[in-house]
Amino acid sequence: MDPLATPPLNDADAPQPGGFPAMRTWEELTTPAPDPAGGTDDYAVMIETLRIFLDRVAAAKPDPATARRVTTQLGELSAELEPLAVPERDQVFAHRTDLPGRGQTMSPRFEVVEGDAEHVLARVVFGRYFLGGNGAAHGGSIPLLFDEVLGRLANMGGRPRARTAYLNVNFRSITPIGEPLDVAAHVVKEDGRKRFLVGTLHHGDTLCADAEGLFVELRPGQP
């Protein structure tokens, strides 16, 4: 199917119900916005560097001197960022809908292969940061991925904002880290304010997990 080709639904500077960013099409979600200055998108690079850092932290067994040095450096960076805190509506983290993963590191980064208002196919790799044990992704990271993918799809196609009412996940087999995985989701039906969606996560031909979710449209002014 062709990607949905509609303009953004809202002014990105307008307050968004529940803190959601302005919704864009799948094509826009996977096409980084050009830097107005014509240079590097420094925030995008910073987030990707942070993802790499978290994977390296998870994989490392640092000696005491390295742990102290990294702790000092992290403390200095935290102090540098502290005075730059902004209200939620102005937050950048997880609000960059032009970037894969919305420019955040809380959930696994997925990249859309194709999609429209009714379905989406994407590719995801769980890094070392999401390791649960024995080469498998942590069980809690898989619902995070499904909530992100199904939730984004539930709000596409001109639909008013919705929140997750429930998300049921079935773990069918081990979800490996460091391997390319295919995630798919589609809208099953809509009933008034209710939107029912399902999703699957595959490693090749192996079904790792599947999910079903209910997303309920927000009433005007509802947080």
Q: Please report the pLDDT score of residue 221 as a whole number.
A: 85
- What is the DSSP-derived secondary structure letter of residue 89? G
In the chain, % of residues over pLDDT 90: 72
CATH code for the domain in which residue 123 is found: 3.10.129.10
Is pLDDT above 80 for 27?
Answer: no
Q: Please report the pLDDT score of residue 15 as a whole number.
A: 38
Check the CA dihedral 157-7-1-96 and report its sign: negative
Distance from C-alpha of 149 to C-alpha of 111, rounded to nearest angstrom = 10
DSSP 125-178: ---GGGEEETTEE-TTHHHHHHHHHHHHHHT-TTPPPEEEEEEEEEE-S--BSS
Higher per-residue pLDDT: 32 or 222:
222
Higher per-residue pLDDT: 8 or 83:
83
Distance from C-alpha of 214 to C-alpha of 124, rounded to nearest angstrom = 23
Tell me the one-letter amino acid at 212.
Answer: E
Closest CA to 212 of 130, 149, 156, 118: 149
CB 169 within 8 A of CB 129: no
Q: Please report the pLDDT score of residue 17 as a whole number.
A: 34
Q: Residues 100-152: pLDDT tens digits?
A: 888 999 999 899 999 999 999 999 999 999 999 999 999 999 999 999 999 99
In a domain, 132, yes or no: yes
CB 47 within 8 A of CB 105: yes
In a domain, 36, yes or no: no
Tokens matching residue 171? 């773990």
Q: What is the mean pLDDT of residues 165-181?
A: 98
Total number of domains constituting the chain: 1
Helix or strand run (H / E) with residue 202: strand 194-203
In a domain, 13, yes or no: no
Scan for tokens 């560097």, then name that residue. 49
In a domain, 145, yes or no: yes
Q: Please report the pLDDT score of residue 25 as a whole number.
A: 52
Q: Rounded to two decimals, what is the model's pTM?
A: 0.81
Q: Residues 68-109: pLDDT tens digits?
A: 999 999 999 999 999 999 999 999 999 888 888 889 999 998
In a domain, 114, yes or no: yes
In a domain, 83, yes or no: no
CB 126 within 8 A of CB 143: no
What stretches of 60-99 show up as alpha helix (H) in DSSP? 64-81
Q: Please report the pLDDT score of residue 31 as a whole number.
A: 54
Tokens matching residue 220? 């005007």
Q: Please report the pLDDT score of residue 203 as a whole number.
A: 98
Q: Residues 185-204: pLDDT tens digits?
A: 999 999 999 999 999 999 99
In a domain, 73, yes or no: no
In a domain, 202, yes or no: yes
Domain that holds residue 166: 107-217
Q: Please report the pLDDT score of residue 144 as a whole number.
A: 96
